[in-house]
């Protein structure tokens, strides 16, 4: 019998502060650093769901919506949308918050795909996802379409 877990079980929230070494010469957060942080948060989410080491298989289009600057607090939220056989789709959003105004705004989002590995680095079966909210159920259904699009675009 295959066990299943809700997305809440592995949901991951990670917080970072933008320091000068994270930025370009204009003081804006570098895109590569943002993607690195998102990859870490989504890896933690995938590994908590699979209870295995997981590796990044793909990253869908990364949408940079706004810039973050030195001193901003970045909150990254990663949540599994669906698992397949050995792979999992993780939706990640990043929010920036100005310290003084406490104004938060969405700066980035993307879908990451991870594969769970066994102790011999061979892909292994992962638990099913059991969506509970309406939004989770919508994303669960749409994940099939996104997976097919990834396969067709290879």
- DSSP string covering 68-101: -BTT-EEEEEEEEEEE-SSEEEEEEEEEEE-TTT
Instruction: Tell me the C-alpha distance between 80 and 42, whole Å.
Output: 8
Residues 6+ apart with CB under 8 A from 137: 131
Q: Where are the domains of the chain?
A: 4-152
Question: Phi and psi (nearest 5°) for 41?
Answer: -60, -40
Name the architecture of domain 4-152: Roll (3.10)
Mean pLDDT in residue range 103-109: 96
Query: How do residues 2-50 score in pLDDT, each as one tens digit?
Result: 689 999 999 999 999 999 999 999 999 999 999 999 999 999 999 999 9
100 pLDDT more than 70: yes
Query: How do residues 43-74 score in pLDDT, each as one tens digit?
Result: 999 999 999 999 999 999 898 999 999 999 99
Mean pLDDT in residue range 71-91: 97
């Amino acid at each position: 019998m295959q066990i299943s877990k809700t997305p809440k079980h592995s949901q991951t929230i990670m917080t970072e502060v933008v320091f000068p070494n994270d930025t370009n010469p204009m003081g804006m957060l570098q895109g590569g650093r943002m993607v690195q942080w998102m990859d870490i948060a989504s890896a933690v989410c995938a590994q908590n769901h699979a209870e295995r080491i997981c590796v990044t298989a793909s990253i869908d289009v990364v949408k940079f919506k706004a810039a973050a600057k030195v001193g901003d607090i970045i909150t990254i939220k990663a949540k599994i949308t669906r698992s397949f056989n050995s792979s999992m789709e993780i939706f990640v959003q990043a929010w920036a918050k100005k310290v003084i105004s406490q104004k938060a705004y969405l700066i980035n989002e993307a879908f990451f795909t991870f594969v769970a590995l066994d102790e011999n680095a061979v892909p292994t079966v992962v638990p099913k996802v059991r969506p509970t909210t309406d939004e989770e159920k919508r994303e669960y259904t749409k994940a099939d379409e996104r997976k097919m699009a990834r396969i067709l675009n290879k």
